[in-house]
Amino acid sequence: MQGPERDKPETKTASGAASGDGSAATYDFMVVSNRLPVDRCAPGEHGDDGSGWRRSPGGLVTALAPMMTKTDGAWVGWHGAPDETVTPFSHGGMDLVPVQLSTDDVELYYEGFSNATLWPLYHDVIAPPEFHRTWWDSYRKVNRRFADAVVRHADHGATVWVQDYQLQLVPRMLREARPDLRIGFFNHIPFPPPEIFAQLPWRQAIIDGLLGADLVGFQRSSDAGNFMRSARRFLGASVKQQQVHVKGQNGDITHIARAQAFPISIDVRQVTELANKPEIIERARQIRQDLGNPKTILLGVDRLDYTKGIRHRLKAYEELLNEQKLTVGDATLIQVASPSRERVEQYRLLREEVEGTVGHINGTYDTIENTAVRYLHHSYPIEEMVALYLAADVMLVTALRDGMNLVAKEYVTARTGNDGALVLSEFAGAADQLKQALLMNPHDIDGLKDAVMRAVNMSPKEAARRMRSMRKQILDHDVDHWSADFLHALNEKVVRDDS
């Protein structure tokens, strides 16, 4: 997939700075996200290429890094360490423009407003959001810093693609500073209905910030609909179909903002190639052997987050053990819970509760030979994740609310033999595409238990039929398809309807 390309007016050095007169390098295409697509690494650490950096494993990086290496573009984001200045540099074929954050910025803008105000609010208030004016002030200040970095480095008429809920004010800031830019925004998490969004004291500013974009993308059509209803309700915007005619301070229409669904996907080729590697297949066999070769391995892979429904999953599994519908030895649950936002109080409490529940289940049901739950509080490289997908007979995705959930798509893609079963929450965006999964409501524990047992007892013929259908959907709509669709829609001409 090719993004915008054209010859640049100056030659860059390896660090990404322009040579010659010392002015900043400029780019025809820019991605903007809270984090750069790299993490620091120690010499000899996994992924180390001698530069001190390695590519991050997250879904957004997986989605956009291949495209960035093919385009004349740069990625703007924080490099991950507070109170540290890093100059622009290149890594893995990508030019990177770091934005500096202080310790206070991380506490107020990121941990505060982004993850203790917006995250719970946008996930249907599963946890209570907090509203603090100091957090909001920091959010505005940091968004301005990101916008300023783009303004410095964007060519005239450049395409800028802003990513996710941490930067919702950036599109409007760019529109005001650089009306020549083509601006896209993609929201990777759900967008709440107006009745929930109404709680946010700064709701008008957020909507106005997003409407600075030419195109606002969402995971699901329902999210785009929620956004348009909020634009109409809180800004009095004129909404026609999927378009808003955005007016400037003088009342004239400056541009048309559109809202559409663009469900994100995964790097199908990478997962498929790994799933067919003999050493990965052998690793999957070794995992089963290390667990005592149980008849059924159930797998959960999540960030340790209250939106993922891990507690509901454990409750359902414990009840199945108690009712002897599953027995230790015949069944084992592997729960990978990668560390997440450990300085935020809600997440510390969740970890204590999950680990306490796992300890209780294992203390009650473990045998000398076998364990009920193998709990892994780690992050793993994609190679180990694919081995786990191959080892698992049943994948459990029990999110209470999720923008997409790429783990579900990775599991399906890895099952190249069209075996295995996916139990999937209807509240995950992936449920819109993976309709042949065993869809369930994770709040309904009895319904969740029924879905688990259907998956455990599913015939090979039915499993193959379901998996074949889901794999076709993902193979036809991979991550390149997602980014190409969004950029095509962003750059197409919009017919203005004044009727």
| Residue 380 domain flag | yes
Residues 331 and 203 in one domain: no
Copy the structure tokens of residue 395.
Answer: 């994948």
The pLDDT of 116-120, averaged and rounded, is 97
Residues 311 and 190 in one domain: no
pLDDT in tens, 323-381: 999 999 999 999 999 998 877 888 889 999 999 999 999 999 999 999 999 999 998 98
The pLDDT of 482-490, averaged and rounded, is 94
| Residue 108 domain flag | yes
Residues 376 and 442 in one domain: yes
Is the separation of the CB atoms in 184 and 170 below 8 Å? Answer: no
Which residue matches tokens 């069944």? 331
pTM of the model: 0.91
- Active-site entry in 91, 123, 153, 188: 188
| Residue 13 domain flag | no
What integer pLDDT is reported at residue 187 of this predicted model?
97
137 is catalytic: no
Cα 387 versus chain centre, distance: 22
pLDDT in tens, 222-271: 999 999 999 999 999 888 888 998 887 777 888 899 999 999 999 899 99
Residues 170 and 205 in one domain: yes
φ, ψ dihedrals at 421, nearest 5°: -140, 145
| Residue 17 domain flag | no
Asked whether the predicted pLDDT for residue 444 surpasses 70, the reply is yes
| Residue 249 domain flag | yes
| Residue 15 domain flag | no
- Active-site entry in 402, 477, 478, 481: 402
Is the separation of the CB atoms in 336 and 380 below 8 Å? Answer: yes
- Enclosing domain of residue 293: 268-477
In one letter, which amino acid is 23? S
**DSSP reduced 3-state for 135:** helix
Query: Comparing C-alpha atoms, which of 141, 178, 144 is closest to residue 160?
Result: 178
Instruction: Give the number of other CB atoms < 10 A from CB of residue 215.
Output: 25
Domain count, the chain: 2
Asked whether the predicted pLDDT for residue 186 surpasses 90, the reply is yes
Residues 217 and 275 in one domain: no
What integer pLDDT is reported at residue 43 of this predicted model?
63
Residues 65 and 107 in one domain: yes
Residues 201 and 340 in one domain: no
49 is catalytic: no
Element (H, E) at 174: helix 170-177
Residues 348 and 220 in one domain: no
Residues 486 and 466 in one domain: no
185 forms beta bridges with 162, 216
pLDDT in tens, 396-423: 999 999 999 999 999 999 999 999 999 9
Confidence of residue 55 (pLDDT cuts 50, 70, 90): confident
| Residue 497 domain flag | no
Asked whether the predicted pLDDT for residue 497 surpasses 80, the reply is no
- Residue 154 and residue 27: Cα distance in Å, rounded? 5
Residues 148 and 226 in one domain: yes
The two beta strands, 253-261 and 27-35, are unpaired
| Residue 230 domain flag | yes
Is the separation of the CB atoms in 449 and 319 below 8 Å? Answer: yes
18 forms beta bridges with 12
Burial string for 139-171 (b: 16+ CB within 10 Å, else e) reads bbebbebbbebbeebbbeebbbbbbbbbbbbbb
Residues 246 and 283 in one domain: no
Residues 238 and 380 in one domain: no
CATH number at residue 231: 3.40.50.2000
What integer pLDDT is reported at residue 47 of this predicted model?
54
Asked whether the predicted pLDDT for residue 20 surpasses 60, the reply is no
Is the separation of the CB atoms in 176 and 200 below 8 Å? Answer: no
